[in-house]
Amino acid sequence: MIMRAALQDLYARRLRKQLKNAVLPKHIAVIMDGNRRWARQVGLANASEGHQRGGEHLKNVMDWCQDLGIRHLTVYLASADNLHKRAEAEMRFLMEEVVERIVVPRAVDSARWQTHVAGRVDLLPGTTRHALELAEEQTRDRDFHLTVAVGYDGRFELVDAVRSLLGSGPSLEELTASITPDDIAWHLYTAGQPDPDLVIRTSGEVRMSGFLLWQAAFAELRFCDVHWPGFRYLDFLRALRSYSDSRG
């Protein structure tokens, strides 16, 4: 086990060196999938502990991005569908323990990361919504950007963007004659931020699950077999190498 860890560390250092002059993504988006499966895999009695470990692991990925100068990171924490269909106790744990007590404090304490929220915050518990709003306020004007997608659904986002655009002033006739992709982009939850260059999904699922449907139209997709809490620095570097190689 020690030998394997040492070999992985050696390989990671080699990859990190190879990436020194590589073309890297400016914005990485991550579907953090597999928390409950990871908990079962390692023998934890309560699957919610997987959510806790997943929330804690986000700080590691923020550090990896910061080390490489990747200034934009968007993470998919919970979909609108999750909030409706998952057990109430599980979602309460995810919102209270993971979002409010792990993700938000670590983002605020990071000193370098500005927090943004993408999703229908009206679906969230009041305390979670308040914690995220406070994080946005307390982290303004920082040079790295963490977007937390929670209560998110890509189709809802497009519907909300169209509604916002229709209510922005011009008549329907004027909009019909002049509307552009940029007009819609400026009414998305992520308005003002660059589109992701690389989308990573953990746990082996090969689908987007409604994540950043508009923004990720031209992104490279990377599907990783490991569950999110087990996503290693080595896996991260491999994804970056794949991205760099594709930019040849």
Q: Which residues are catalytic?
A: 33, 82
- Residues 104 and 131: beta-carbon distance below 8 Å: yes
Q: What backbone torsions phi and psi does residue 161 show, to the nearest 5 degrees?
A: -65, -45
> Look-up: residue for tokens 């509604």?
163
DSSP string, the chain: -HHHHHHHHHHHHHHHHHGGGS---SEEEEE---HHHHHHHTT-S-THHHHHHHHHHHHHHHHHHHHHT--EEEEEEEEHHHHHHS-HHHHHHIIIIIIIIIIHHHHHHTSSEEEEEES-GGGS-HHHHHHHHHHHHHTTT-SEEEEEEEEE-HHHHHHHHHHHHHTSSS-HHHHHHH--HHHHHTTSTTTTSPPPSEEEE-TT--S-TTTTTTTTTT-EEEE-SS-GGG--HHHHHHHHHHHHHHH-
Give, in order, the Cα–Cα distances in Å from 228 to each of 6, 136, 143, 204: 22, 25, 26, 10
